[in-house]
Amino acid sequence: MQFYQKPRIAFLINDLTAVDEHDQERIYFFEKGYVKVLGEFENEKYSGGKAYIIFNDEDVLSVATNVLRFTDKEVH
């Protein structure tokens, strides 16, 4: 697992959400748009064998490479 010294910015191409199947309470919601990428790790369960750790100023989630488009924007 590698955490970046400075977060990268990427565009999340889809909304991501999870809901508890028992009480229908939302577990997390990531809206399509820019997110901070905190690091990466290798795992065969993810498309391409690599996952990224993303942060939306509220929650942290790991996602496959194919749902992100990296930019050259600076983190503020």
31: amino acid identity, one letter: E
Q: Which domains does the chain have, with CATH numbers?
A: 2-70 (2.30.30)
Give the residue from 29, 35, 28 showing the smallest Cα distance to 13.
35
The DSSP line for 13-59 is -S-EEEE-TTT--EEEEE-SEEEEEEEEEE-TTSGGGEEEEEE-SS-
pLDDT recorded at residue 41: 95
Q: What is the pTM of this model?
A: 0.84
Task: Provide the Cα torsion 26, 18, 63, 4; round to 10°.
Answer: 20
pLDDT tens for each residue of 12-63: 999 998 888 888 888 888 999 999 999 999 998 887 889 999 999 999 999 9
Give the CA radius of gyration of the chain: 13
11: amino acid identity, one letter: F
pLDDT recorded at residue 25: 84
